Amino acid sequence: MKFDGVLFFPVTPFTPEGDVDVAILKEHITSRLPFGPGGVFPACGTGEFHALSIEEVRTVVTAAVEAVAGQVPVVAGAGGPLGHTLAAARAAEEAGADALLVLPPYLVTGPSAGLVAYIEAVAEASSLPVIVYHRGNAQYTAASMTRLAANPKVIGFKDGLGDVGLAQEIVSAIKATGRSDFALFNGLLTAELSQGAYRGLGIPLYSSAAFAMAPEIAKAYYDAYMSGDEVRRNALLEGFYAPLVRLRDQTPGFGVSLIKAGLRLGGLPVGSVRPPLVDPSEDQLLQLKSILVKGYELAGQ
């Protein structure tokens, strides 16, 4: 499976009554497709997977598959308690997803052998290939990724931990297996800020929550990144991404909340985030609006 472009993690819109808003979700996804995402990842971190029931996961992934209509891969989220994870994997397969992003298990921290078994159980639960998400209580070693890379159904590794030394060991271990089809992602929050360093580790792909909110800005950064235009890339980093990160770090969970808020500022009624996340204050919304104005200016919009 080939990913060529910014990896798009859509939000999950909710109606005022708290239900998944399928029509707005489809509009959200189709409006971003012209900006050339390399893949669409519904019901993942930015899509509030932690707050979705299995039936809601099915609804979100089905809507995404219909909206994408085969233009790029659709990779659905699965994670949490093992039973929930397996059910999400099956629901995603039934909905027509192309692959799974396996988020960390719930609460407990297991040894490497247990994490490997967790991924293998998810891989066996459906016919879909899986991507390993390395973060939180799911921290993989180079040896465990070597074992998982021996399974042809494991097709990728997404680093959300930020330990560059360990990431380098894992990249080297995967390459040593001879897998040329293995996708390597930078999955840190606001990954654009760290992608210059991750490219040096041999991790060329990155997820972009900003693409969901402001695809023009995210695409301008991606184009500068791919063309080697470091002047423009750094201008976008300093003028848009760095201030966005400073605002994001004011409140836990703002990696999602700000994206939804930005979409609402742009006129798309995606609703609020679900607990335990919270929406920005009025002052924080003003800060976000100012950051977006500067970002669009730098992107030439």
> Catalytic residue positions?
133, 158
Handedness of CA 174, 150, 131, 98 (dihedral sign): positive
For residue 4, the tally of other CB atoms under 10 A from its CB is 11
- Residue 90 CA to residue 242 CA, distance in Å, equals 39
- Residue 187 CA to residue 157 CA, distance in Å, equals 9
- Residue 163 CA to residue 283 CA, distance in Å, equals 33
Instruction: Tokens for 259, please give them.
Output: 């994206």
Q: What is the dihedral of CA 97, 72, 9, 283, to 10 degrees?
A: -140
- Residue type at 82 in one-letter notation: L
Q: Is 272 exposed, middle or buried (0-12, 13-18, 19+ CB in 10 A)?
A: middle
